[in-house]
Structure 1
Amino acid sequence: MSRLFPAPLLSIALFVLWLLLNLSISPGNLLLAAALAVVAPLLMAPLRPQRARVSRPLVVARLIGRVGIDVIHSNFLVAIGVLRARQKPPRSAFVHIPLDLRDAHGLAALSMITTVVPGTVWSELALDRSMLLLHVFDLEDEKAFIEHFKHTYERPLMEIFE
């Protein structure tokens, strides 16, 4: 069964999404949705690396909550920074962050977190995955920012994926 459906949740999501986008449950759309739900995951299966092993669900929940809080807080800080840009220009900077996280799934999650949190942009990852280059909208203390980033995001991801 797993050969036909290598990613069952993806298949279900594709099926439902097709029907929602077309706003129709006609026989033709049901057939196309079923074909898409079966064929797309089969074609994408070779592109997927090893399966992710997610452990420590409480750490996952805490990290999701923390990211949510940081998104709201950062939105507020960036809005204030933009509105006060004439009086006090933001101190944008590129920051090199040494990484201990090596798991591909953890790094993917870290890239999504930095993309979602306003004021940070994932700029580059070293080929050996040892260094991350981030652009920060308004940086006061580089050392404190690096420690906060590693403690808040990298360490929980290491607990979850490694």
Structure 2
Amino acid sequence: MIARCLPHPWLSLTLLLVWLLLVNDFSAGQWLLGALLGVLIPLLSRVLWINPPRTRQPWRLLPFFLRVLGDIVIANLQVSRRILGSMDDLQPAFVEVPLEVHDELALTLLTSIVSLTPGTVSADLSDDRRRLLLHCLNVQDSAALVAEIKARYEAPLLEVFPCSA
């Protein structure tokens, strides 16, 4: 019965919390409205969820997202320093990252994270979804960049999402 009313309980909880933060009001009425939205939106969008995401150890996402937020802040500072400095020092390049991630949600998260980190943007995903083409503002060593992306972002996603080919 609960699975029928809450097909995606984490989504419902997230919608409730986002609603409360958006309205910046924690009154009982807003809790009730947020809970109603948290139940209705997943129920109404249930037909759009072709393959609901499966996770292993979802609690590992919290430290991962905290790392991503830290990386975004640090990358903002680095990009600002490089842009305000000499433009001759920049070495823009396209870099191809081979992927082990195959889950759709994990791929979406990985490409979004790379694009959210200043200085890099996901330019293309190969048709077989095994290579991600990135445009980077400043590349000193492309192999080191690929290794860093795989270690910092792809490896934690592989731990959380079952990504068998």
Root mean square deviation, CA, Å: 3.1
Please list every run of 5 or more consecutive structure 2 residues that lacks an aligned counterpart in the other structure.
none
Q: Give TM-score, length-normalised by structure 1.
A: 0.76
Pick closer, same or farther for the CA change 1:19–1:142 going to 2, 3 Å. Answer: closer
Aligned counterparts of 1:141 and 1:37: Cα–Cα separation in 2: 45
User: Structure 1 vs Structure 2: percent identity of aligned residues?
Assistant: 33
| Paired position in structure 2 for 1:80 | 81
Aligned counterparts of 1:81 and 1:105: Cα–Cα separation in 2: 33
Aligned counterparts of 2:42 and 2:58: Cα–Cα separation in 1: 27
Give aligned pairs, total.
Answer: 159
Aligned counterparts of 1:10 and 1:156: Cα–Cα separation in 2: 21
Deviation at 1:155, TM superposition (A): 1.9
Aligned counterparts of 1:146 and 1:19: Cα–Cα separation in 2: 36
Please list every run of 5 or more consecutive structure 1 residues that lacks an aligned counterpart in the other structure.
none
> What whole-Å deviation, never above 9, does each CA across 1:86-121 have from its counterpart, x for those lacking one?
4x2522222111111112232122123213311111
Letter of the aligned partner of 2:45 in structure 1? M
Aligned counterparts of 1:119 and 1:101: Cα–Cα separation in 2: 22
Deviation at 1:31, TM superposition (A): 8.1
Pick closer, same or farther for the CA change 1:22–1:122 going to 2, 3 Å. Answer: same
The correspondence of residues 15-94 of structure 1 with structure 2, limited to 5 A, is 17=19, 20-21=22-23, 36-48=37-49, 49-55=51-57, 57=59, 60-86=61-87, 88-94=88-94
